[in-house]
């Protein structure tokens, strides 16, 4: 058999089937998953065997898992920068407990400017004095401690720390905060000698001027005190301040009570220094030569005398004088009149503006009263009036009156009375009888009133006074009146002695 009779060997891949594909995928997954499962197993074993600790730094907390057995080792792992004065609880050498707590409190940063130096420290002090002692700086209670230009007492509690957040990713909470340093400034006090009323003492102050130093020390300086050097003078080491005290006095003058102070020795010197002058009859109590003493009350009485002239005014009277040439019911002022004046001269004494005495020195009549004279007319002439009906009447006087009306039944007299329906003149009541005031219109005067007609003044009445006229009616034809009207007194006039030349103005005639 020849070589060609035998087939040659070839590396021919077996045919691919679904079974072989699944087998390949499973092998690949096993190659990847075994290390992953092994890693998860190791992580789980590490987590189970680790200690859980609540770690707190300056109030910020986080839970930490560790295989460290001591606090110091855990701090090393956390790479937390600490100073020797920071507080760690429990101590560094203490062992860690599962679910234990480790607390770290870091001291507060402080920046101090004092004695020309700038010092930076961390301190647990809560007052300025404690922080100064931590910085090994001396403390004098007269030195001035300031925080942001605000003065603090050495024993005052300092304000809480200002914490700012720092945006740092992937950091623990306590690594994301920054505490601002507390900036304190110390101004050292300067010793000054005070001499007051022959007594000297030393005073320490941080004030800039003499006046500020005395004010801060509670030493009151009054307006009358003398201070050397001046209150505005600057403070310097070794300065001596002299104070010459004034005395308190009270001055009563011109309705004022003035409380002040002075370094004068007598009342006269004090008034001169205070600018109170005396004149004329003014008096001073106590006397001008009186030595001054504390709280002395000085009274200045202002005295003046004046000559005053008073006058009494005597009213003048009004006289009515008849004038035969002036028409009746016409008046004319002939003399306006003048009041009488009597004057008195007096000498008046005033003390502090109040009158205390008055002496009459003279009295005289400066002007005699002069009466006012008014002429009234007595001339009567016949006058003519045409009534609304066209009748012409002749009259001697026209008077503006208020007219009312009445009858026997409305006159106020009971029917049982003997004089019921009888007028003052004895006439029986009827239309045409007019009730008048005889002082204004004489009885039995013939009259005329528009709307009423002719009448005769034959009656009077208790309410019929002055310019009031009651028009009479029968009971059956009574017409009510109550208005102002003109009444004409018909010619001829009565005798002069029956005429009232100046009529009363009541009721007042409306204008």
DSSP string, 328-360: TT-EEEEE--B-EEEEEEEEEEEETTEEEEEEE
Which strands, in side-by-side order, build the sheet including 372-379? Answer: 318-327, 372-379, 331-335
Residue 302 CA to residue 405 CA, distance in Å, equals 75
- Domain assignment present for residue 357? The answer is yes
- Record the tokens describing residue 277, joined without a space: 């002058």
Place of tokens 């057995």: 69
Residues sharing a CB contact under 8 Å with residue 368, sequence separation 6 or more, in sequence order: 340
Q: 399 with 478, same domain?
A: yes
Return phi, psi of residue 26, to 5°: -65, -40
Residue 454 CA to residue 356 CA, distance in Å, equals 75
Is pLDDT at 166 greater than 70 in this prediction?
Answer: no
Q: Is the peptide bond before 507 cis (omega within 30 degrees of 0)?
A: yes
Residue 375 CA to residue 258 CA, distance in Å, equals 68
Calculate mean pLDDT across residues 333-341: 93
Is residue 456 within 8 A of residue 432, CB to CB? The reply is yes
- Domain assignment present for residue 348? The answer is yes
Q: 208 with 138, same domain?
A: no
**DSSP string of 403-428, one letter each residue:** EEEE-GGGSS--TTSTTTTB-TTSPB
Alpha-carbon dihedral sign for residues 210, 211, 213, 219: positive
Q: Single out the residue of 256, 349, 356, 354 nearest to residue 298, CA to CA.
A: 256
- Residue where a domain stops, chosen among 360, 376, 392: 376
- Record the tokens describing residue 422, joined without a space: 């009888």
Place of tokens 């310019």: 467
Q: 407 with 465, same domain?
A: yes
Query: Where does residue 245 rank: exposed (0-12), middle (13-18), buried (19+ CB within 10 A)?
Result: middle
> Side-chain half-sphere of 240: how many Cα atoms within 13 Å?
5
Residue 27 in 3-state DSSP?
helix
Q: Single out the residue of 145, 186, 181 nearest to residue 161, CA to CA.
A: 181
CA torsion, ordered 244, 224, 260, 192, to nearest 10 deg: -60
Q: How many CB atoms lie within 10 A of CB 152?
A: 17
Place of tokens 């006229």: 469
Q: 287 with 354, same domain?
A: no
313-326: string of b/e by CB count within 10 Å (b at 16+)? Answer: eeebeeeeeebeee
Place of tokens 């009156």: 401
- Residue where a domain stops, chosen among 321, 343, 376: 376
- Which H/E stretch holds residue 59? none
In angstroms, the first-to-last Cα distance of the chain is 179
- Domain assignment present for residue 436? The answer is yes
Q: How many CB atoms lie within 10 A of CB 470?
A: 22
Calculate mean pLDDT across residues 118-136: 82
3-state SS, 230-249, equals CCCCECCCCCEEEEECCEEE
pLDDT band at 10; cut points 50, 70, 90: very low
Residue 432 CA to residue 405 CA, distance in Å, equals 11
Lowest pLDDT segment from 89-93, 330-334, 451-455: 89-93
Calculate mean pLDDT across residues 108-134: 82
Q: 407 with 470, same domain?
A: yes
Is residue 119 within 8 A of residue 137, CB to CB? The reply is yes
Q: 128 with 224, same domain?
A: no
pLDDT at residue 12, as a whole number: 46
Residue 107 CA to residue 124 CA, distance in Å, equals 5
Arithmetic mean of pLDDT over the chain: 84
- Domain assignment present for residue 14? The answer is no
* Gyration radius of the chain over CA positions: 64
Is residue 352 within 8 A of residue 301, CB to CB? The reply is yes
Digit-coded pLDDT (tens) for 175-219: 666 677 888 888 888 888 888 877 888 888 888 898 888 888 888
Residues sharing a CB contact under 8 Å with residue 89, sequence separation 6 or more, in sequence order: 102, 103, 104, 105
Q: 482 with 390, same domain?
A: yes
Is residue 350 within 8 A of residue 393, CB to CB? The reply is no
Q: Residue 218 belongs to a domain with what CATH number?
A: 3.10.20.90
Q: 434 with 482, same domain?
A: yes
Residues sharing a CB contact under 8 Å with residue 394, sequence separation 6 or more, in sequence order: 382, 383, 384, 490, 491
Is residue 340 within 8 A of residue 316, CB to CB? The reply is yes
- Domain assignment present for residue 30? The answer is no
Q: Residue 446 belongs to a domain with what CATH number?
A: 2.40.40.10
Q: The pTM is what?
A: 0.44
Alpha-carbon dihedral sign for residues 246, 249, 253, 256: positive
Q: Residue 268 belongs to a domain with what CATH number?
A: 3.10.20.30
Number of domains within the chain: 6
pLDDT at residue 45, as a whole number: 59
Residue 229 has what DSSP assignment? Answer: S
CA of 131: how far to CAs of 110, 141, 156, 157, 310, in Å? Answer: 8, 14, 12, 11, 87
- Domain assignment present for residue 202? The answer is yes
Residue 5 has what DSSP assignment? Answer: G
Q: 427 with 451, same domain?
A: yes
Pairing status of strand 100-105 against strand 51-57? parallel
- Record the tokens describing residue 158, joined without a space: 């300092």
- Domain assignment present for residue 44? The answer is no
Digit-coded pLDDT (tens) for 364-403: 998 999 999 999 999 999 999 999 999 999 999 999 999 9
- Domain assignment present for residue 42? The answer is no
Digit-coded pLDDT (tens) for 271-289: 888 888 888 888 998 988 8
Residue that wins the pLDDT comparison between 96 and 49: 96
pLDDT at residue 116, as a whole number: 79
Residue that wins the pLDDT comparison between 222 and 453: 453
Q: 316 with 264, same domain?
A: no
Q: Residue 326 belongs to a domain with what CATH number?
A: 2.20.230.10
Q: 402 with 417, same domain?
A: yes
Q: 235 with 251, same domain?
A: no
Residue 87 CA to residue 83 CA, distance in Å, equals 9
Q: Which domain holds residue 271?
A: 247-301
Residue that wins the pLDDT comparison between 16 and 307: 307
pLDDT at residue 339, as a whole number: 92
Return phi, psi of residue 173, to 5°: -55, -40
Is pLDDT at 427 greater than 70 in this prediction?
Answer: yes
Residue that wins the pLDDT comparison between 206 and 497: 497
- Residue where a domain stops, chosen among 327, 342, 376: 376
**Cα maximum dimension of the chain:** 210
């Amino acid at each position: 058999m020849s070589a060609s009779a035998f087939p040659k060997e070839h590396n021919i891949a077996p045919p691919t089937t679904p079974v072989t594909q699944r087998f390949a995928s499973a092998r690949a997954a096993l190659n990847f998953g075994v290390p992953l499962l092994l890693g998860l197993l190791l992580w789980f074993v590490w987590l189970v065997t680790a200690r859980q600790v609540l770690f707190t730094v300056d109030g910020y907390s986080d839970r930490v898992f560790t295989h460290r057995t001591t606090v110091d080792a855990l701090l090393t792992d956390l790479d937390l920068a600490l100073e020797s004065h920071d507080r760690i609880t429990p101590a560094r050498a203490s062992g860690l407990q599962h679910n234990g707590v480790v607390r770290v409190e870091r001291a507060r940063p402080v920046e101090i400017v004092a004695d020309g130096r700038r010092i930076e420290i961390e301190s647990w002090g809560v007052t300025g004095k404690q922080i100064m002692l931590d910085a090994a700086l001396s403390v004098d209670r007269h030195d001035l401690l300031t925080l942001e230009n605000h003065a603090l007492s050495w024993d005052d509690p300092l304000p809480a720390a200002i914490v700012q957040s720092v945006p740092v990713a992937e950091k623990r909470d306590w690594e994301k905060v920054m505490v601002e340093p507390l900036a304190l400034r110390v101004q050292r006090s300067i010793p000054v000698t005070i001499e007051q009323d022959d007594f000297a003492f030393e005073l320490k102050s941080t004030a800039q001027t003499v006046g500020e130093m005395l004010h801060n020390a509670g030493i009151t300086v009054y307006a009358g005190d003398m201070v050397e050097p001046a209150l505005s003078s600057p403070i310097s080491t070794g300065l001596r301040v002299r104070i010459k005290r004034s005395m308190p006095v009270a001055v009563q003058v011109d309705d004022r009570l003035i409380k002040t102070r002075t370094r004068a020795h007598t009342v006269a010197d004090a008034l001169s220094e205070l600018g109170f002058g005396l004149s004329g009859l003014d008096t001073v109590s106590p006397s001008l030569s009186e030595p001054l003493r504390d709280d002395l009350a000085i009274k200045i009485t202002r005295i003046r005398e004046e000559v005053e002239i008073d006058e009494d005014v005597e009213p003048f009277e009004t006289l009515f004088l008849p004038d035969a040439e002036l028409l009746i019911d016409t008046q004319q002022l002939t003399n306006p009149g003048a009041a009488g004046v009597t004057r008195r001269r007096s000498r008046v004494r005033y003390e502090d503006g109040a009158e205390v005495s008055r002496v009459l020195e003279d009295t005289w009549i400066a002007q005699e009263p002069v009466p006012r004279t008014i002429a009234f007319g007595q001339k009567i002439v016949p006058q003519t009036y045409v009534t609304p009906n066209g009748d012409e009447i002749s009259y001697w006087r026209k008077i503006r009156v208020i007219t009312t009306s009445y009858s026997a039944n409305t006159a106020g007299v009971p029917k049982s009375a003997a004089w019921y329906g009888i007028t003052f003149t004895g006439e029986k009541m009827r239309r045409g009888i007019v009730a008048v005031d005889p002082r204004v219109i004489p009885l039995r005067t013939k009259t005329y009133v528009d709307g009423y007609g002719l009448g005769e003044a034959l009656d009077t009445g208790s309410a019929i006074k002055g310019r009031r006229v009651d028009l009479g009616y029968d009971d059956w034809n009574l017409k009510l009146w109550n208005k102002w009207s003109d009444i004409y007194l018909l010619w001829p006039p009565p005798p002069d002695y029956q005429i009232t030349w100046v009529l009363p103005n009541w009721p007042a005639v409306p204008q």
